[in-house]
Amino acid sequence: MSSAPPELDPHAPIFVVLNVGSGSEDATGTRAVIESVLTQAGREHEIKVVDEPARLSGIARAVVDQASARGGIVVAAGGDGTINAVAQAVLGSGCPFGVLPQGTFNYFSRTHGIPAETEEATRLLLTACVQPVQVGLVNDRVFLVNASLGLYPTLLEDREAYKQQYGRSRLVALWAGVVTLLRGHRRLRLHLEQDGEGVPDRVLRTSTLFIGNNRLQLEQIGINEAPLLEQGRLAAIALRPVGRVEMLWLLLRGAFGQLGDADKVLTFPFERITVQPALRGRAGRRIKVATDGEIAWLATPLEFRVAPQPLWLLKPEPR
């Protein structure tokens, strides 16, 4: 994270990618609030509305190209998945990056002190400073909060199905997680190679491998490696094979911030690890991976690492 920050022009145009499918707020009202704040401030701006998830990545890339050509700022308005998709396009472009959180958990924005209210967060874009933020990569796919394989992606898929039926709330998300755990799960046998750490290769049997890149989320569930994220590292969490009852007990420990002290939980920090199925001849196999709540099928081996360049985030002045 040694590269110099971009110059922040106080009159730079602001380009907003607004995902109308994120969060529970009214999309029309959200857009009106953003336009009102920026217009009253006399700030040139443009809002690109995304009404189909499949178009999000393409629109984000087009907006980044437009902002780069005009020395502008790129802003993601949506949940963690929307922020991830826009960050993927922004990373390496040199454009300052802003966030207007619209999701359920908003771990990324909360970690960096960005207000949850749209009006307040929009006003912050006009006064914020540019600061570097660590980005995680799995192969070449960005993650700002977490990446995972195994049980956790399945839990996310089930959670999204419950949200579609019962609405977006943390209570619905928690209930969906309990139902998923009670249904049972397949265990993975993974080969892990940890680069540059002096740690021998290992074969790990686990129901899920979770890679954290968000201090707030890791602190909430009680992972001791959370402070190391500010030292250019990521944190790995693996659950040793357990039954359904013990899995629910681990879920309860996580809810009370005590997961890292559980005997059945393996945690370790790293800068780079390579993960693939432990069976021979399985290189190139595609495996389901979740990044910031979005599911994709990636070819193995999977390489988890810290991106060589940071994301230049608009956030409040550090106290």
The residues pairing with 317 across neighbouring beta strands, listed in sequence order, are none
> Nearest to residue 211, comparing CAs of 255, 149, 164?
149
pTM: 0.85
In what order do the strands lie in the sheet containing 202-206?
A: 141-143, 136-138, 302-306, 272-277, 188-194, 202-206
Q: Does residue 189 contact residue 279 with C-beta atoms inside 8 Å?
A: yes
Q: How far is CA 75 from the centre of its chain?
A: 16
Residue ranges of alpha helices (H) inside the chain are 27-40, 56-70, 80-90, 107-111, 118-127, 151-166, 170-182, 215-221, 244-255
Cα(124)–Cα(105) distance, rounded to whole angstroms?
20
Please tell me whether residue 27 adopts helix, strand or coil conformation.
Answer: helix
pLDDT of res. 1: 44
Per-residue pLDDT of the chain (319 residues), as tens digits, is: 446 788 889 999 999 999 986 554 577 899 999 999 999 999 999 999 998 888 999 999 999 999 999 999 999 999 888 999 999 999 999 999 999 999 878 999 999 999 999 999 999 999 999 999 999 999 999 999 999 998 877 777 666 655 565 555 566 566 555 555 556 667 889 999 987 665 678 898 888 899 999 999 999 888 888 999 988 999 999 987 666 656 665 566 666 566 766 777 889 999 999 999 887 555 678 999 999 988 899 999 999 999 999 999 999 987 6
Tokens found for residue 242: 């357990």
What would the pLDDT profile of 277-309 be if each residue is shown by its tens digit? 887 555 678 999 999 988 899 999 999 999 999
What would the pLDDT profile of 111-140 be if each residue is shown by its tens digit? 999 999 999 999 999 999 999 999 999 999
Tokens found for residue 84: 């991830």
Q: Does residue 271 contact residue 195 with C-beta atoms inside 8 Å?
A: yes
Cα(298)–Cα(294) distance, rounded to whole angstroms?
12
